[in-house]
Structure 1
Amino acid sequence: MTAQIEVPGYLTGAWAIDPSHSDISFTIRHLGVSKVRGRFDSFEGEIVTAEDPLRSSVSVTIQAASIDTNNQMRDDAVRGGDFLDVEKYPTLTFRSTGLRAVDDGFEADGELTVHGVSRAVALRLEPNGFAEGWGGAKVAGFSATTEISRAEFGVTGGPMGATLGDKVTITLEIEATRKD
């Protein structure tokens, strides 16, 4: 017998990620002494909250060329063939394959595709709440984090890659509006 999962204020439905109120960002070590931060400015996705929260799903598509690290020369290099190769691989995607309760939150298991390589990842997921937004629209908020190995996705970085750590921490702060 499985225990009933309770999420305060939980609402079911299909939700469109609102890019103007959401953030997809990352950090990576530089020279082992600091962290470089960046974000993606163009993305879309859908969250489906099911009656049983553990049957919910999420899918996200990120435009790789929308990367912004606050340094144009670095952004151009990361868009190039040694890193994301946005001409050949214009999107990064995540599709959940399952949700599970862990400790005081959830993990969303899924498939992340970066640089044409797909790998299983788990995102630590926190539902931040459900509310009524502007004009009565239903909104929901979620936070998620994961850490990946860029080498496992074939993102070597060429000679510049030697200055960067292998681990990339990805953070998502998502607000979504229910599609009625």
Structure 2
Amino acid sequence: MSTPTAASIPGYTTGTWAIDPIHSEVAFSVKHLGIAKVRGRFDEFEGQIVTAEDPLDSTVTATIRTASVSTGNEQRDEHVRTADFLNVEEAPEMTFRSTGLRANGSAGFQVDGELTLRGVTRPVTLDLELNGFGQGMEGKPALGLSASTEISRSDFGVTAGPASAVVGDTIKITLDVEANQV
């Protein structure tokens, strides 16, 4: 496997990029009763990507407002905001900070980083697909990427309270990001 270079990535552009929340999504899914998936998303988030001369030196940071959780059911959303789950009163933000980037096959990358949720920081690895670089809506350069990972809710102190018997421990997180160069 060869190490990707800026020249080997079509349209690769160095710089600082702001995540566009209007054209991006931070979503999750979790098993319910062990047989079905409940899906949700966070509606308020921001982040920055820095693409370096050497693509493997690139970085990302992101902040998600936990109270912006949306599962399509307001009663469930209110429960997810409580201390049983996200505890938004005491932990209004979830953050991610990359610590490294590695090539993963011919078309992908893995982003190692630290996820902080409810005051607990754990290492996570995101599988990253760089969707490409192009021209944004306002004429500025834009980039697109998709990423996913799985975390254990209990690793972050998310007990689920009385619902722990019916809500799975594994949370799948998926990101679809469009970012504009600043």
Query: Which residue in 2 is equivalent to 1:163?
Result: 166
Q: CA deviation at 1:103?
A: 1.5
Check the 8 A contact 2:3/2:103 in 1, yes or no.
Answer: no
SS at match of 1:25: strand
- Paired residues for 1:16-165 under 5 Å: 16-104=18-106, 105-165=108-168
What is the distance in 2 between the residues matched to 1:4 and 1:127? 12
Deviations 1:74-93 (A, max 9, x none): 00000001111000000000
Query: Which residue in 2 is equivalent to 1:175?
Result: 178
Taking only the aligned residue pairs, the percentage that are identical comes to 57
SS at match of 2:17: strand
SS at match of 1:119: strand
* TM-score, length basis structure 1: 0.96
Of 13, 16, 26, the match for 1:14: 16
Q: Bigger shift: 89-98 or 129-138?
A: 129-138
Structure 2 residue ranges without an equivalent (≥5) = none
Q: CA deviation at 1:4?
A: 4.5
Q: Which letter does structure 1 place at the counterpart of 2:30?
A: I
What is the distance in 2 between the residues matched to 1:35 and 1:3? 37
Deviations 1:120-159 (A, max 9, x none): 0000011101001223111000100000000100001100
What is the distance in 2 between the residues matched to 1:16 and 1:53? 17
Deviations 1:56-80 (A, max 9, x none): 0000000000000000010000000
Q: Which letter does structure 2 place at the counterpart of 1:147?
A: E
Q: Which letter does structure 2 place at the counterpart of 1:28?
A: V
Runs of 4 or more above 6 Å deviation: none
Q: CA deviation at 1:11?
A: 0.5
What is the distance in 2 between the residues matched to 1:4 and 1:125? 14
Check the 8 A contact 2:96/2:115 in 1, yes or no.
Answer: yes
Q: Which letter does structure 2 place at the counterpart of 1:78?
A: V
Check the 8 A contact 2:87/2:118 in 1, yes or no.
Answer: yes
Check the 8 A contact 2:150/2:171 in 1, yes or no.
Answer: yes
What is the distance in 2 between the residues matched to 1:64 and 1:4? 35
Q: Which letter does structure 2 place at the counterpart of 1:169?
A: K
* TM-score, length basis structure 2: 0.95
